[in-house]
Amino acid sequence: MENKLEGMVIPRHVALILDGNGRWAKKRGLPRTMGHKEGCVTVEKTVEIAARMGIEYLTVYGFSTENWNRSKEEVGALMQLFRYYMVRLLKVAKANNVRVRMIGDRTRFDQDIIDGLNKLEAETAANTGLTFVIAVNYGGRDEITRAVRRLAADCAAGKRSPEQVTEQVVASYLDTADMPDPDLLIRTSGELRLSNYLLWQVAYTEFYVTDCLWPDFDQEELERAIIAYNKRDRRFGGVK
Ligand code: IPE
Ligand code: IPE
Ligand code: MG
pLDDT in tens, 21-70: 999 999 999 999 999 999 999 999 999 999 999 999 999 999 999 999 99
- Give the closest residue to 147 by CA, choosing from 107, 174, 108: 174
Can you tell me which atom of ligand 2 is nearest the CA of 64? 6
CA dist list (Å): 28 to 22, 56, 78, 107, 215: 10, 35, 19, 35, 12
How far apart are alpha carbons 118 and 120 in whole angstroms?
5
Ligand showing the shortest atom-to-Cα distance for residue 69: 2
How far apart are alpha carbons 16 and 6 in whole angstroms?
23
Residue of minimum CA distance from atom 14 in ligand 2: 195
Catalytic residues: 19, 67
Can you tell me which atom of ligand 2 is nearest the CA of 22? 8
pLDDT per residue as tens digits for the range 82-135: 999 999 999 999 999 999 999 999 999 999 999 999 999 999 999 999 999 999
Ligand 2 in reach of 36 Cβ (< 6 A): no
- Whether residue 181 contacts residue 202, with contact meaning beta carbons closer than 8 Å, is answered with yes
Residue of minimum CA distance from atom 11 in ligand 2: 195
Q: What is the pTM of this model?
A: 0.97
Ligand showing the shortest atom-to-Cα distance for residue 22: 1
